[in-house]
Structure 1
Amino acid sequence: MLSCMRYDDVIFPDTPVCGTAREVAAQYHSASLLNHSIRAYIWAAAYAQERGIGFDAELLYVSAMLHDIGLTAEFDSHTVPFEEAGGHVAWAFAAGAGWPVERRVRAAEVIIRHMWDVVPVEEDPEGHLLELSTGMDISGRRTEDIPAGLREEVLRRHPRLDLVKEFAACVTDQGTRKPSSLAGGFVRGGIAERMANNPLDG
């Protein structure tokens, strides 16, 4: 159980590509989705740091900033699930940032896998952490692993705003148009109800 991790203890990678990724996220996301992306990184990094999970902070941060960009009107795809569309955007973004092909592929993988039920930490620590943290922030899964002090400070700095309403609308739209996608399964599985009961909104 996390107990004493605070906001200032969280590793924030200070690289040009991270700053640009946040700028891209801010350009295309609503304030609610931008804050969600920031919190997804924080929950993931804090969880990893407390448990001694080694992770690539820059890769995780960029992936967190861009993981929902496939939900935006500008990057929504009518042919592939939103997480796959986001993976393609991340690959192109990483290419522009000068990342080698292997690292571009990793960014795409992490984003695609954030929608999986399970991502083995030993195989893909960044994918595991983003899948875990987005589940915390969206459906309230394992929020007990977030220490009270960190939770309070993060929600004050990066409030949830209209996330429940906005994300429920986005994922319902995705699931309706792409019923065979993971989003379609989430909708049929009652994601809207789980979001409405997320302890982070309590």
Structure 2
Amino acid sequence: MTEVIAGISVPDSAIARAATELVRDTEDDLLYNHSRRVFFWGALTGECKRLKYDPELLYLGAMFHDAGLTERYSSADLRFEVDGANAARDFMRSYGLAEHDIEAAWTAIALHTTPGIPEHMRSTIALVTAGVEMDVLGINYHNFSHEHRHEVCSCHPREESFKENIIDHFAEGIRKKPQITFGNVKADVLALKDPSFKRGNFCSIILGSAWPK
């Protein structure tokens, strides 16, 4: 039976069910519930804006978007967003999905912490970021009805200390490779959580480059 939450149907294809099982097995409750909520916020945004979107692609993007924070998929030197995108790409290829769709999901995951760009791209990419921004940052919180917020969070609860705990998850996922935070929002995470962290500085890199002038 198709699962429906806040009027949004969860894709019930073989690949969607497999993605749910995989993410459930590799992520803890906080990340799993967060990923599911991201799907619903993204889908509700798409419905509100009357966007044409592929629910299955949106679901895959949402479910894998934080996979790079897990031990299973974390690399030694890539941004966690790219690790998650690569995990989704490999998973989708194993099911024979079209490269055009794989590219959309990869891009959605890779760009989900890069504000100002995804909303101008195809709907899968825009809506994954919209879902993440709603769940983590509360962007457009009041555009969602109380009933929809309550129903989604009843099915996939936010922990009482979700705000602090999601920051802790980010920090643990990237602490061993601080260089990946240069030029992106995760530098703020390590600045808060790691006293030894030193930010890279864009202007210092320019001025200290090997160019003579």
TM-score, normalised to structure 2, is 0.79
Which residue in the other structure is 1:167 paired with? 166
**What is the rounded CA distance, in whole Å, between the counterparts of 1:189 and 1:137 in structure 2?**
22
Deviations 1:104-155 (A, max 9, x none): 2222111111111123545221111111111111122221122110001111
Coordinate RMSD, CA, aligned:
2.2
Letter of the aligned partner of 2:187 in structure 1? G
Which residue in the other structure is 1:197 paired with? none
Q: Which residues of structure 1 form unaligned runs of 5+?
A: 1-5, 192-202
Q: What percentage of residue pairs aligned between the two structures are identical? A: 24
Offset of residue 188 of structure 1: 6.3
C-alpha contact (below 8 Å) 1:32/1:160 kept by paired residues: yes
Which residue in the other structure is 1:39 paired with? 37
C-alpha contact (below 8 Å) 2:69/2:169 kept by paired residues: yes
Greater C-alpha Rg: 2
TM-score, normalised to structure 1, is 0.83
C-alpha contact (below 8 Å) 2:69/2:174 kept by paired residues: no
Structure 2 counterparts to residues 97-116 of structure 1, below 5 A? 97-116=95-114
**What is the rounded CA distance, in whole Å, between the counterparts of 1:80 and 1:96 in structure 2?**
22
Ranked by relative contact order (alpha carbons within 8 Å, sequence separation 6 or more), the top structure is 1
Deviations 1:69-103 (A, max 9, x none): 00001111121010000011011000111112222
More helix by share: 1
C-alpha contact (below 8 Å) 2:24/2:32 kept by paired residues: yes
Letter of the aligned partner of 2:103 in structure 1? V
**What is the rounded CA distance, in whole Å, between the counterparts of 1:40 and 1:160 in structure 2?**
12
**What is the rounded CA distance, in whole Å, between the counterparts of 2:192 and 2:125 in structure 1?**
24
Q: Which residues of structure 2 form unaligned runs of 5+?
A: 194-213
Which residue in the other structure is 1:96 paired with? 94
C-alpha contact (below 8 Å) 1:38/1:64 kept by paired residues: yes
Offset of residue 178 of structure 1: 2.2
